[in-house]
Amino acid sequence: MKINTFKQVGLLSGIVLAMNCYADSPPSADNKQQEFYIGTWTASAPDGLGALKSDFPSQGIYKVRLNADGTLLPINYVQADNPSWLVIDKKNQYLYATNEDNADADGSVSAFKIDQEGNLTFLNAVNSLGQQPTHAEISPDNHFLFVANYSARPAHAGVAVFAILDNGSLGPAVQNIPFLKGSKALPERQIDGHAHSITFDPEGKTVYLADLGSDLIQAYDYLPKAKHPLKRNETLDLNFPAGSGPRHLKFSKNGDYAYASTEMGAQVVVFKRADGKYTKIQQENLTDQTSADFKGGAGLLLSPDQRFLYVGNRRKSNEIAAYSVDQETGRLTLVGRYSSGGIEPRAFDIDATGQYLIVANVFSNTVSQFKRNIETGALTPTRMALQIGLPTDIKFISK
Protein backbone atom coordinates (compact mmCIF):
# COMPACT_ATOMS: atom_id res chain seq x y z
CA MET A 1 0.00 0.00 0.00
CA LYS A 2 1.41 3.37 -1.04
CA ILE A 3 2.35 6.03 1.51
CA ASN A 4 1.31 9.45 0.19
CA THR A 5 3.49 12.36 1.30
CA PHE A 6 2.62 16.05 1.52
CA LYS A 7 4.86 18.36 -0.50
CA GLN A 8 3.57 21.66 0.87
CA VAL A 9 1.27 23.12 3.47
CA GLY A 10 -2.09 24.10 2.03
CA LEU A 11 -4.70 22.11 0.15
CA LEU A 12 -3.27 18.60 0.41
CA SER A 13 -5.21 15.48 -0.57
CA GLY A 14 -8.03 16.17 1.82
CA ILE A 15 -6.19 18.07 4.55
CA VAL A 16 -5.70 21.79 5.14
CA LEU A 17 -3.68 23.49 7.86
CA ALA A 18 -5.44 26.54 9.26
CA MET A 19 -3.39 28.87 11.45
CA ASN A 20 -4.26 32.01 13.37
CA CYS A 21 -2.68 33.83 16.28
CA TYR A 22 -2.66 32.09 19.65
CA ALA A 23 -5.36 33.03 22.10
CA ASP A 24 -2.97 34.19 24.82
CA SER A 25 0.72 33.51 24.31
CA PRO A 26 2.61 31.17 21.95
CA PRO A 27 3.07 27.60 23.20
CA SER A 28 6.25 26.91 25.08
CA ALA A 29 8.99 25.08 23.21
CA ASP A 30 10.09 22.76 26.00
CA ASN A 31 8.33 19.74 24.52
CA LYS A 32 9.99 17.50 21.97
CA GLN A 33 8.69 16.91 18.48
CA GLN A 34 5.84 14.38 18.51
CA GLU A 35 3.59 12.73 15.95
CA PHE A 36 0.02 11.48 15.95
CA TYR A 37 -2.37 9.62 13.67
CA ILE A 38 -5.86 10.75 12.65
CA GLY A 39 -8.57 8.18 11.96
CA THR A 40 -11.41 9.21 9.66
CA TRP A 41 -14.58 8.30 7.85
CA THR A 42 -13.82 8.26 4.14
CA ALA A 43 -17.43 7.83 3.03
CA SER A 44 -20.03 10.58 3.03
CA ALA A 45 -21.15 11.97 6.36
CA PRO A 46 -23.95 10.06 8.11
CA ASP A 47 -26.96 12.02 9.30
CA GLY A 48 -25.99 14.05 12.34
CA LEU A 49 -26.90 17.22 14.16
CA GLY A 50 -25.15 20.07 12.31
CA ALA A 51 -23.17 17.81 9.97
CA LEU A 52 -21.35 19.78 7.26
CA LYS A 53 -20.34 18.48 3.86
CA SER A 54 -16.58 18.19 3.53
CA ASP A 55 -14.86 20.00 0.67
CA PHE A 56 -11.83 17.83 1.33
CA PRO A 57 -12.87 14.16 1.57
CA SER A 58 -10.59 12.02 3.68
CA GLN A 59 -8.34 9.42 2.12
CA GLY A 60 -7.61 7.24 5.15
CA ILE A 61 -5.18 7.47 8.10
CA TYR A 62 -3.13 10.66 8.41
CA LYS A 63 0.15 11.22 10.22
CA VAL A 64 0.73 14.70 11.65
CA ARG A 65 3.72 16.19 13.44
CA LEU A 66 3.33 18.34 16.54
CA ASN A 67 6.41 20.56 16.49
CA ALA A 68 8.19 21.85 19.57
CA ASP A 69 6.58 25.29 19.10
CA GLY A 70 3.07 23.82 18.95
CA THR A 71 2.61 24.09 15.19
CA LEU A 72 1.06 21.20 13.28
CA LEU A 73 2.59 19.73 10.13
CA PRO A 74 0.82 17.07 8.01
CA ILE A 75 3.38 14.42 6.99
CA ASN A 76 1.65 11.68 4.99
CA TYR A 77 -1.35 9.40 4.78
CA VAL A 78 -2.17 5.82 3.95
CA GLN A 79 -5.34 5.05 2.07
CA ALA A 80 -7.91 3.04 4.02
CA ASP A 81 -11.68 2.72 4.07
CA ASN A 82 -13.36 4.39 7.06
CA PRO A 83 -10.57 3.80 9.62
CA SER A 84 -12.66 5.29 12.40
CA TRP A 85 -10.88 3.99 15.53
CA LEU A 86 -7.15 3.42 15.93
CA VAL A 87 -5.23 1.41 18.52
CA ILE A 88 -1.44 1.07 18.76
CA ASP A 89 0.44 -1.72 20.52
CA LYS A 90 2.70 -0.86 23.46
CA LYS A 91 5.92 -1.26 21.45
CA ASN A 92 4.69 1.04 18.66
CA GLN A 93 5.17 -1.75 16.13
CA TYR A 94 1.61 -2.22 14.91
CA LEU A 95 -1.55 -0.19 14.44
CA TYR A 96 -5.06 -1.62 14.10
CA ALA A 97 -8.00 0.28 12.61
CA THR A 98 -11.70 -0.49 12.66
CA ASN A 99 -13.16 0.00 9.18
CA GLU A 100 -16.57 1.35 10.15
CA ASP A 101 -18.76 1.03 7.07
CA ASN A 102 -22.07 2.78 7.75
CA ALA A 103 -23.86 0.84 5.01
CA ASP A 104 -25.52 -2.54 5.47
CA ALA A 105 -22.34 -4.50 4.80
CA ASP A 106 -20.26 -6.11 7.54
CA GLY A 107 -17.36 -4.07 8.81
CA SER A 108 -13.72 -5.07 8.92
CA VAL A 109 -10.58 -4.40 10.93
CA SER A 110 -7.15 -3.75 9.41
CA ALA A 111 -3.60 -4.30 10.62
CA PHE A 112 -0.64 -2.04 9.76
CA LYS A 113 3.06 -2.25 10.55
CA ILE A 114 4.68 0.90 11.95
CA ASP A 115 8.26 1.53 10.80
CA GLN A 116 10.90 3.53 12.69
CA GLU A 117 9.68 6.74 11.04
CA GLY A 118 6.09 6.10 12.09
CA ASN A 119 4.97 5.28 8.56
CA LEU A 120 2.31 2.62 8.05
CA THR A 121 2.39 -0.47 5.85
CA PHE A 122 -0.80 -2.45 5.35
CA LEU A 123 -0.61 -6.07 6.57
CA ASN A 124 -4.09 -7.53 6.24
CA ALA A 125 -7.78 -7.08 7.01
CA VAL A 126 -10.42 -9.42 8.40
CA ASN A 127 -14.20 -9.34 8.63
CA SER A 128 -15.20 -7.84 11.99
CA LEU A 129 -18.08 -10.36 12.34
CA GLY A 130 -20.57 -7.51 12.72
CA GLN A 131 -21.52 -4.07 11.50
CA GLN A 132 -20.18 -0.60 12.33
CA PRO A 133 -17.05 -1.69 14.26
CA THR A 134 -16.50 1.38 16.38
CA HIS A 135 -13.78 0.49 18.90
CA ALA A 136 -10.88 -1.93 19.40
CA GLU A 137 -8.43 -2.84 22.14
CA ILE A 138 -5.29 -4.97 22.32
CA SER A 139 -4.86 -7.43 25.17
CA PRO A 140 -2.00 -6.52 27.55
CA ASP A 141 -0.07 -9.63 26.48
CA ASN A 142 -0.50 -8.62 22.80
CA HIS A 143 -2.12 -11.98 21.95
CA PHE A 144 -5.57 -10.74 20.89
CA LEU A 145 -7.40 -7.81 19.33
CA PHE A 146 -10.90 -7.16 20.68
CA VAL A 147 -13.35 -5.40 18.35
CA ALA A 148 -16.68 -3.79 19.31
CA ASN A 149 -19.32 -3.98 16.56
CA TYR A 150 -21.91 -1.31 17.38
CA SER A 151 -24.37 -2.17 14.58
CA ALA A 152 -27.46 -0.07 14.04
CA ARG A 153 -29.19 -3.21 12.71
CA PRO A 154 -30.54 -6.05 14.87
CA ALA A 155 -28.41 -9.17 15.48
CA HIS A 156 -25.17 -7.68 14.17
CA ALA A 157 -23.73 -6.15 17.37
CA GLY A 158 -21.20 -7.71 19.71
CA VAL A 159 -17.53 -8.13 20.53
CA ALA A 160 -15.24 -10.28 18.38
CA VAL A 161 -11.82 -11.55 19.49
CA PHE A 162 -9.05 -12.05 16.91
CA ALA A 163 -5.67 -13.68 17.32
CA ILE A 164 -2.66 -11.43 16.67
CA LEU A 165 -0.01 -13.34 14.74
CA ASP A 166 3.74 -13.06 15.26
CA ASN A 167 4.12 -10.66 12.32
CA GLY A 168 1.39 -8.36 13.65
CA SER A 169 -1.27 -9.39 11.16
CA LEU A 170 -4.68 -10.57 12.30
CA GLY A 171 -5.53 -14.24 12.45
CA PRO A 172 -8.91 -15.91 12.66
CA ALA A 173 -11.54 -15.01 15.22
CA VAL A 174 -11.42 -17.16 18.33
CA GLN A 175 -14.59 -15.85 19.97
CA ASN A 176 -17.64 -13.73 19.13
CA ILE A 177 -19.98 -12.46 21.84
CA PRO A 178 -23.33 -11.20 20.45
CA PHE A 179 -25.11 -8.24 22.05
CA LEU A 180 -28.74 -9.03 21.24
CA LYS A 181 -30.96 -7.54 23.93
CA GLY A 182 -31.41 -3.87 24.71
CA SER A 183 -33.01 -2.25 27.73
CA LYS A 184 -35.67 -0.67 25.48
CA ALA A 185 -35.66 2.37 27.77
CA LEU A 186 -35.14 4.55 24.68
CA PRO A 187 -36.80 2.55 21.87
CA GLU A 188 -35.10 4.55 19.12
CA ARG A 189 -31.65 3.62 20.47
CA GLN A 190 -32.01 0.60 22.76
CA ILE A 191 -34.19 -2.08 21.18
CA ASP A 192 -31.03 -4.16 20.74
CA GLY A 193 -27.60 -4.30 22.31
CA HIS A 194 -24.87 -2.00 20.94
CA ALA A 195 -21.23 -2.77 21.80
CA HIS A 196 -19.33 0.50 22.05
CA SER A 197 -15.97 -0.10 23.72
CA ILE A 198 -13.62 -2.61 25.32
CA THR A 199 -11.46 -1.77 28.35
CA PHE A 200 -9.03 -3.90 30.35
CA ASP A 201 -8.55 -3.20 34.03
CA PRO A 202 -4.97 -2.15 34.98
CA GLU A 203 -4.13 -5.68 36.15
CA GLY A 204 -5.13 -7.10 32.76
CA LYS A 205 -7.33 -9.76 34.38
CA THR A 206 -10.80 -8.38 33.69
CA VAL A 207 -12.27 -6.98 30.48
CA TYR A 208 -15.20 -4.56 30.49
CA LEU A 209 -17.47 -4.40 27.42
CA ALA A 210 -19.71 -1.33 27.22
CA ASP A 211 -23.19 -2.10 25.88
CA LEU A 212 -24.91 1.20 25.09
CA GLY A 213 -28.10 -0.64 24.20
CA SER A 214 -28.61 -2.42 27.53
CA ASP A 215 -27.31 0.27 29.95
CA LEU A 216 -24.67 -2.13 31.15
CA ILE A 217 -20.90 -2.53 31.07
CA GLN A 218 -20.40 -6.29 31.04
CA ALA A 219 -17.45 -7.83 32.88
CA TYR A 220 -15.46 -10.83 31.66
CA ASP A 221 -12.51 -12.72 33.13
CA TYR A 222 -9.57 -12.76 30.72
CA LEU A 223 -8.23 -16.29 30.23
CA PRO A 224 -5.55 -16.00 27.52
CA LYS A 225 -4.77 -19.73 27.40
CA ALA A 226 -8.39 -20.87 27.11
CA LYS A 227 -10.08 -21.74 23.83
CA HIS A 228 -12.38 -18.77 24.40
CA PRO A 229 -10.38 -16.08 26.25
CA LEU A 230 -13.41 -14.23 27.67
CA LYS A 231 -15.50 -15.80 30.43
CA ARG A 232 -18.57 -13.98 31.72
CA ASN A 233 -18.36 -12.62 35.28
CA GLU A 234 -21.64 -10.90 36.08
CA THR A 235 -20.58 -10.14 39.65
CA LEU A 236 -18.29 -7.39 38.34
CA ASP A 237 -20.81 -5.74 35.96
CA LEU A 238 -21.28 -1.97 36.06
CA ASN A 239 -24.94 -1.00 35.92
CA PHE A 240 -26.37 2.33 34.73
CA PRO A 241 -29.80 4.00 34.95
CA ALA A 242 -32.24 3.16 32.16
CA GLY A 243 -31.62 5.20 29.03
CA SER A 244 -28.07 6.25 30.00
CA GLY A 245 -26.17 4.45 27.23
CA PRO A 246 -22.66 3.75 28.61
CA ARG A 247 -20.06 4.50 25.92
CA HIS A 248 -16.47 4.54 27.21
CA LEU A 249 -14.59 3.54 30.37
CA LYS A 250 -11.23 4.57 31.81
CA PHE A 251 -9.38 3.35 34.90
CA SER A 252 -6.99 5.22 37.12
CA LYS A 253 -3.47 3.80 36.85
CA ASN A 254 -3.69 2.12 40.23
CA GLY A 255 -7.11 0.66 39.43
CA ASP A 256 -8.77 2.19 42.48
CA TYR A 257 -11.22 4.21 40.39
CA ALA A 258 -13.08 3.87 37.10
CA TYR A 259 -14.69 6.62 35.05
CA ALA A 260 -17.45 6.02 32.50
CA SER A 261 -19.12 8.35 30.02
CA THR A 262 -22.76 7.86 29.07
CA GLU A 263 -24.00 8.92 25.65
CA MET A 264 -27.72 9.63 26.02
CA GLY A 265 -27.42 10.44 29.73
CA ALA A 266 -24.53 12.82 29.02
CA GLN A 267 -22.91 12.08 32.35
CA VAL A 268 -19.57 10.98 33.73
CA VAL A 269 -19.92 8.30 36.40
CA VAL A 270 -17.25 7.53 39.00
CA PHE A 271 -16.74 4.06 40.49
CA LYS A 272 -14.56 3.09 43.46
CA ARG A 273 -13.02 -0.34 43.94
CA ALA A 274 -13.66 -2.13 47.19
CA ASP A 275 -13.31 -5.86 47.86
CA GLY A 276 -12.52 -6.45 44.20
CA LYS A 277 -15.69 -4.80 42.88
CA TYR A 278 -16.52 -1.31 41.63
CA THR A 279 -19.31 0.70 43.26
CA LYS A 280 -20.68 4.02 42.01
CA ILE A 281 -19.72 6.97 44.20
CA GLN A 282 -20.50 9.97 41.97
CA GLN A 283 -22.14 11.07 38.75
CA GLU A 284 -21.84 14.47 37.10
CA ASN A 285 -23.82 16.02 34.26
CA LEU A 286 -21.79 17.08 31.24
CA THR A 287 -24.26 19.89 30.57
CA ASP A 288 -26.77 21.99 32.50
CA GLN A 289 -29.22 21.66 29.62
CA THR A 290 -32.10 19.22 30.05
CA SER A 291 -33.01 18.74 26.39
CA ALA A 292 -31.74 15.60 24.65
CA ASP A 293 -30.51 17.86 21.85
CA PHE A 294 -27.63 18.88 24.12
CA LYS A 295 -26.78 15.39 25.35
CA GLY A 296 -24.25 13.27 23.48
CA GLY A 297 -21.53 12.01 25.79
CA ALA A 298 -18.44 10.88 23.89
CA GLY A 299 -14.85 9.90 24.68
CA LEU A 300 -13.08 10.49 27.97
CA LEU A 301 -9.40 10.69 28.89
CA LEU A 302 -7.26 11.14 31.97
CA SER A 303 -4.31 13.51 31.79
CA PRO A 304 -0.83 11.91 31.91
CA ASP A 305 -0.47 12.89 35.59
CA GLN A 306 -3.96 11.53 36.42
CA ARG A 307 -4.95 14.86 37.98
CA PHE A 308 -7.59 15.80 35.40
CA LEU A 309 -10.32 14.06 33.40
CA TYR A 310 -11.67 15.31 30.07
CA VAL A 311 -15.03 14.19 28.63
CA GLY A 312 -16.60 15.08 25.28
CA ASN A 313 -20.22 16.12 24.83
CA ARG A 314 -21.63 16.38 21.32
CA ARG A 315 -24.96 17.25 19.64
CA LYS A 316 -25.74 20.96 20.27
CA SER A 317 -23.26 21.24 23.16
CA ASN A 318 -20.02 20.45 21.28
CA GLU A 319 -17.90 20.84 24.39
CA ILE A 320 -15.03 19.26 26.29
CA ALA A 321 -15.77 19.14 30.01
CA ALA A 322 -12.69 19.28 32.24
CA TYR A 323 -12.67 17.93 35.81
CA SER A 324 -10.04 17.87 38.51
CA VAL A 325 -9.56 14.46 40.13
CA ASP A 326 -9.19 14.29 43.89
CA GLN A 327 -6.12 12.09 44.38
CA GLU A 328 -7.39 10.78 47.72
CA THR A 329 -11.02 10.03 46.88
CA GLY A 330 -11.14 9.84 43.05
CA ARG A 331 -14.06 12.27 43.02
CA LEU A 332 -14.44 14.93 40.34
CA THR A 333 -14.79 18.72 40.51
CA LEU A 334 -15.73 20.67 37.39
CA VAL A 335 -12.97 22.93 36.07
CA GLY A 336 -14.90 24.20 33.08
CA ARG A 337 -16.72 23.36 29.86
CA TYR A 338 -14.95 24.44 26.69
CA SER A 339 -16.14 24.72 23.11
CA SER A 340 -14.54 21.91 21.13
CA GLY A 341 -13.77 24.25 18.23
CA GLY A 342 -16.13 22.39 15.91
CA ILE A 343 -19.10 20.03 15.65
CA GLU A 344 -19.28 16.51 17.11
CA PRO A 345 -16.12 16.11 19.27
CA ARG A 346 -16.00 12.32 19.07
CA ALA A 347 -12.48 11.61 20.32
CA PHE A 348 -9.31 13.37 21.48
CA ASP A 349 -5.85 12.68 22.82
CA ILE A 350 -3.23 14.43 24.95
CA ASP A 351 0.45 14.59 24.03
CA ALA A 352 3.11 13.00 26.25
CA THR A 353 4.06 16.30 27.91
CA GLY A 354 0.44 17.00 28.83
CA GLN A 355 0.59 20.43 27.19
CA TYR A 356 -1.72 19.85 24.22
CA LEU A 357 -5.13 18.30 23.72
CA ILE A 358 -6.09 17.52 20.10
CA VAL A 359 -9.79 17.04 19.26
CA ALA A 360 -11.45 15.29 16.30
CA ASN A 361 -14.59 17.28 15.46
CA VAL A 362 -16.27 14.93 13.01
CA PHE A 363 -19.13 16.90 11.49
CA SER A 364 -17.27 20.21 11.04
CA ASN A 365 -14.35 18.38 9.39
CA THR A 366 -11.83 19.92 11.78
CA VAL A 367 -9.08 18.78 14.13
CA SER A 368 -8.69 21.43 16.82
CA GLN A 369 -5.78 22.08 19.17
CA PHE A 370 -5.91 23.28 22.79
CA LYS A 371 -3.17 24.30 25.20
CA ARG A 372 -3.59 22.68 28.62
CA ASN A 373 -2.82 24.46 31.84
CA ILE A 374 -1.00 21.63 33.58
CA GLU A 375 -1.68 23.09 37.03
CA THR A 376 -5.40 23.89 36.67
CA GLY A 377 -6.50 21.61 33.82
CA ALA A 378 -8.06 24.53 31.94
CA LEU A 379 -8.09 24.49 28.13
CA THR A 380 -7.22 27.42 25.86
CA PRO A 381 -7.73 27.21 22.09
CA THR A 382 -4.54 27.86 20.15
CA ARG A 383 -6.63 28.70 17.07
CA MET A 384 -4.61 26.22 15.09
CA ALA A 385 -6.54 23.49 13.33
CA LEU A 386 -6.45 20.96 10.54
CA GLN A 387 -9.32 20.82 8.07
CA ILE A 388 -9.87 17.19 7.17
CA GLY A 389 -12.90 15.23 6.06
CA LEU A 390 -14.77 13.55 8.95
CA PRO A 391 -11.96 13.04 11.52
CA THR A 392 -13.02 10.43 14.07
CA ASP A 393 -10.00 9.56 16.24
CA ILE A 394 -6.64 10.92 17.44
CA LYS A 395 -3.79 8.74 18.67
CA PHE A 396 -0.33 10.01 19.64
CA ILE A 397 2.65 7.77 18.97
CA SER A 398 4.31 7.21 22.34
CA LYS A 399 8.09 7.51 22.46
Q: CA-to-CA distance for 318 and 309, rounded, in angstroms?
A: 17
Ordered alpha helix ranges (H), 152-304: 187-190
Q: Please report the pLDDT score of residue 46 as a whole number.
A: 66
The number of residues making up the chain comes to: 399
Q: Please report the pLDDT score of residue 44 as a whole number.
A: 73
| pTM of this structure | 0.93
Strand partners, 359: 348, 368
Give one word for 376, left, alpha or beta, with left for phi > 0 and alpha for psi -120 to 50.
alpha
Domain count, the chain: 1
Domain containing residue 315: 3-396
Q: Please report the pLDDT score of residue 228 as a whole number.
A: 98
Over its length of 399 residues, how does the chain's per-residue pLDDT go in tens digits? 668 875 433 334 455 655 443 333 344 444 588 999 999 999 876 666 667 777 778 999 999 999 989 999 999 999 999 999 999 999 999 999 999 987 678 899 999 999 999 999 999 999 999 999 999 999 999 999 999 999 988 888 999 999 999 999 999 999 999 999 999 999 999 999 999 999 999 999 999 999 999 999 999 999 999 999 999 999 999 999 999 999 999 999 999 999 999 999 999 999 999 999 999 999 999 999 999 999 999 999 999 999 999 999 999 999 999 999 999 999 999 999 999 999 999 999 999 999 999 999 999 999 999 999 999 999 999 999 999 999 999 999 987
Q: CA-to-CA distance for 97 and 88, rounded, in angstroms?
A: 9
Assess contact for 176 and 164: CB atoms under 8 A: no
- CB count in 10 Å sphere of residue 258: 23
Residue 228, domain CATH = 2.130.10.10
Could you give the 3-state DSSP secondary structure of residue 147?
strand
Dihedral through CA 132, CA 130, CA 247, CA 339, nearest 10?
-10
Beta strands in 275-399 (DSSP E): 277-285, 297-302, 308-313, 319-325, 332-339, 345-350, 356-361, 366-372, 379-388, 391-396
